[in-house]
Structures are given as C-alpha cells and as structure tokens.
Chains A and B, each alone.
Chain A
Amino acid sequence: MDNKKIKALTQPMYYILLSLKEERHGYEIMQYVDWLTDGRVKVGPGTLYSLLSRFEEDGYIKMVSDDDNKKTYLIRELGSEVLDEEIIRLELLLKDANAVKGGNEDEFQNRK
C-alpha cells in the first residue's frame, strides 16, 4: 500500500472523503454529496469510482463490506489526517479572505 499524501484535494476528492466519515456505498456517496452541498457539487460515477480506487490504493479509505455488488467504504486514519489538513488549509484561506474584506491594508502598510 502506497501511503503517499495528495498535496491538495480537488473538490470531488474533498467531498468524497468527507462523506466517508460514515460507511457508505458508491451511490450513497453521490447522493450525500449532492444533499450536503444543496446540489452545488455533483460527483459523477466515473469520477467517483476512479477516486475510490485511488483512495483505496493510497490507504485513505478501506472497503468494509461487499454485498450484492455494492462495496461499502469508510475513511481510514491517513485519510482523516489528509482531510483535517485540507480543512485547516481551507480555514486559513477563509481567514485571509475575511481579513482582506475587513480592510487590513492599513495594518499591512504600518507593519514595520
């Protein structure tokens, strides 16, 4: 198993890992992401299954059951770490955006 970390998650990657905080199968992941984002983010089956294969290979998720042609997945520790790092990154992005919106130009000019 190759435990390398993906440097930055794309939107579908982020939402798939988020949805696998609970055990879910493929179609359920797609429905959950659609519901969570109010239809803003759509993950098609081709994109979904490609990412699920990749995450499983990289050790981010594991298959927990395989019944009736439905595989169920759950996030693993490594996947949770990657997700947490991404959330921190996004929070920092948001913090910086709010600082700019709040008007921090004077603070920048007077930083010395």
Chain B
Amino acid sequence: MNFKIENNYIHITNYPTIEKHFEELASKGWLINRIIASNIFIYKKIKPEALDFSISPYEIETEYTRKTKSELAEFQSVCESVGWNYATKSFNLHIYYKEKGSEALDIQTDEEEEFRIIETIGKRYLRGLYIQIPLFLFLCWSIMRQLLTGVDGMKDSLPQLLSVLMPITLLMLVIETFNINRFLKKNRNNMEIGESIEYSKSNFYINRVTFTATYILLFIFILYMLYGIIFLKNTFLLIAMIPISITLIIGVLYRIIIKPSKMTTKSKKKSFVATLVLSTIIPIILFGFVFINGLNRLNDGDIPNIEGYKVLSVNDFQNSTVAEDGDLRIQASILLPTSYRYYSHSNQIYERTNTEYSKALTEDLAKILVKRYVKLAEIQINRDRKELEIYFEEDIYNEFLLGEKAGMSLEDLNSLKDQDIKDAVETTIGRIKERAITKDGGGLWNADEAYFLNYNKTEIILRQGKEVFYIDATEKDFSDPEIIKVVKHKLGLN
C-alpha cells in the first residue's frame, strides 16, 4: 500500500515530540501527507530518508480574520526559499521538512515570539472550551434524563447513542482544558525567568482513544440518521437535521468568504454578529414553516397505508365508514427495534385515536416501557397542581378537571376545605392518581400487563410479552367488553 493511516495527536503542547515521530517514520519510508482533525495522520510511501522536521505555529485564526490563500502561499514560498519543503498542516500548525544536515534557517528563531503565538492560540482554544463544557454538561444531563426516565428515551436511538458520545466528548474537553492551562501557566513562568518552552512528551493516549471513540460513534450516529431517513422514512429525523445543517453552512460560508476578505475589522465584526443572528433565525423559521405546512408528515395522502401495522383507526369503532385523516410515524431504536405511532382523526365525527406500538428487545425492557407510560400519566396529573391550588383558594369546583377527569365530586372537595391548601392539593392529587391510574385487576384484557391511565378509561397501556401498546381514543371506554373485542381483533391480541 502506498499510504498508511495512524491514530495520533498533534497539539500546541506537544508538536516537537511529533517532529521526532515524523523523523522516525521518514527513516522507515513514510512521509506525513495529511492530518485530519489533529488525530488522523495519513502518510505516503517514500524511499527511507533521514529528514529533519519543523512544525511551526502560524495562521492565527480569530473570530473575524483568517489568512488568505495568497498569504499562506507567500509564507510557504519564503520557507522554501530558506531551505524547507512544505508537507502539510493541522489547523494552526504548519509542517515542513528538509534533508538531515542540509542548511536551512530555522522557521522560528525567537522563542518568546513563538510562545506568544502559542499562547494566543491556546487562549482562543480555552475560550471555546469554557463555552462548550457547560453546554455539553447541560446536554449530557438532558440526554441522560430522557434516556433514564422518558418514553421517548427508549423509542429514539438518538439519546441512546448520544448518551455514550456526550460523556466521552465532555471528558475530552475537560482533559484538553486542564492540559492547555497547565502548559500555558508553566511556560509563562519559563519565559519570565528566561527558560525555554517546555512541551509535553506524553503520548496522549487518553486523547487518542477518546477521539477514536468519538469518530466511531459519530459514524454510527450518521448511519442511524441515514437509516432512519431512508429506510424508516422518518421525516422528523430529516427535519431535525435542518437547523444544524443551516447553521453549519452559514458558519462555513462566513469562514471561507468573510474572514479572509479585505473588509475592515469593523465590517467583519458586524458580519460576525449578522452570521450569529441568521444562523439562529433561519433554522427556526424553516423549522416552523415545515411544521405549519405539515411537511413533517410521512404520508402524501390523507390516509397512509397501515396494512401490517398493529394500529387502530377511528373507523374501527364505526358501523359505517367516515372521512378520516391519519399520520403514521415510524421509529426504531436499539432498545425498541420496532416502534411506530399512528394518529387517526375524523373531522366528520370529531373523534380521534392514537396508537403507539413498540416491540422491545427483551421482555424486561417492555416492562420498563410500561412503567414509563404510567409515570408519564402521573406527571400529567401533577401538572394540574397549580390549577388545584387556585380552585381551593377561590373555592371553585371545576366540573371537567375534578369531575370528569378524576371522578372527584363536590362533596369530596368540600371534605378537604378545612385542611391547609397545600395538604388539600396533595391529597387531591393522590386521589386523582388512585382513581385515574388503575391496573386491570379483573383480567378484562387477559394481557401480561394492562393499566388504565385516566378516570374515564379512554387511555390504556397494554403489554403482551415484548409488545407494548399505548392507546388513547375519544370517548372509548377500554373497560367496555365490546370495545375490548374490537381492539383485540384489530391488534392481533389474544
């Protein structure tokens, strides 16, 4: 093979060590050809040669400026004039080589100035890291919360993949921050007392491993996104890519057009602010446009083809066919390899049904999913807490919230009036939960697990083996034997 790929790490804190590494590899017949993301080193085959390498920090890119191609070409041409050959670069580090023993002027001849460049680059890295770390901490917390408690966390592969990717990335960022701070502090002291710059001799194994793990996970992440969009026809995933894609495109355009341009610094700062604003507003507007126009819907027609899917429609409960609209959404995740949701509604009879079907990897996972649906129902009830406080304070009996939704009569409520409002609300919430969320103790459904999730029993969660069904339908009492018969027949339940 004429090329080889290596997992390594080049950084402002260790580049002299990398120079030695390149020299060693050149003596074995490999010349560095390209470096990707500071981590993937690509070498090309050469005749084994004794070469000297010089890695030099150059091209300090700021928020507003970046060296133009002609500036980089001029620098390269001058380095070549003094005896060096250009190999490649990795961000702000340029790599040159020459034959060992041949005469050439050093590229960096003043260590103080070299450290000043390194310090400027280092401080810029640190500013970015101080913004990224809290952001990643928040994202980690958010994803773990979704994964460990939410229904969506089980249905969606994204939090499952990100739950591994995010902590690894966060660890990398923290290690990087620590390393750069330590390096800069030590060498600031060295410069003050006239000592040389001290570089790291570490092999950076942690950085290399975390980088590699991140790339693998990113690759899996992209594969999953493509699988979801192309095979599962999950348009929601496609739409979710819109904000990040637009932001990336705007950012890249700013970097390649505005930054190296001859505009004044003041104009570039204005362009920078405009870029930030546009990259926030445009995705929001596009996202909104897509949803308002129903472009996130899977199906082109009003009723998708639901053959083969274990879902209900409004027409399943009608004696004669009514006009119906439907929205089918398919998901798949590591924990729930088969999962979809069908929402059917009719404007003719003002009824709707919502079926969420999932087949878990194991029965234990199916049981966990059922528990999460139950928990979700409890959370919905807890949301009424504020309203209940108002009712107790103002002595209002809400027929819908308390009567229809929870079976709490006026007498029930009056019996709590003497209590402290907070205690009365807690007692009411407790009673609502008891009356709304009930197990199918009577074996009506003959399922492995069945819970009614509201007082009127129009919401139910069922488990049969690894299969879990969540059904919610307008005015359909799922404790009614006739309704149970229709549903079991349609969903293929015993």
Contact = CB atoms under 8 A, between A and B. Distances in A.
A62 B78 CA distance: 20
Nearest to B117: A50
Contact of A49 (B58, B110, B112): B58
Contacts of B81: 27
Interface string A30-42: 1000000000001
B75 interface: yes
Nearest to B104: A44
A45 B74 CA distance: 10
Interface residues of B, number: 25
Contacts of B434: none
B74 A42 contact: no
Contacts, number: 66
Interface of A: 10-12, 26-27, 30, 42-51, 53, 66, 69-71
Contacts of A71: 71, 74
A6 B117 CA distance: 16
Interface in B65-102: 70-71, 73-75, 77-79, 81-82
A64 B81 CA distance: 23
Prevailing SS type, chain B contact patch: helix
A36 to B, nearest CB: 15
Q: Which 10 A-B pairs have the closest CB atoms?
A: A44-B109, A46-B107, A46-B108, A46-B56, A45-B78, A47-B110, A69-B74, A69-B73, A44-B106, A44-B107
Contact of B108 (A44, A53, A66): A44
Contacts of A44: 82, 105-110
A26 to B, nearest CB: 5
B52 to A, nearest CB: 14
Nearest to B265: A1
Contacts of A42: 105-106, 109
Interface in B98-131: 105-110, 112-114, 116-117
Contacts of B159: none
B13 to A, nearest CB: 18
A11 to B, nearest CB: 8
A66 B71 CA distance: 10
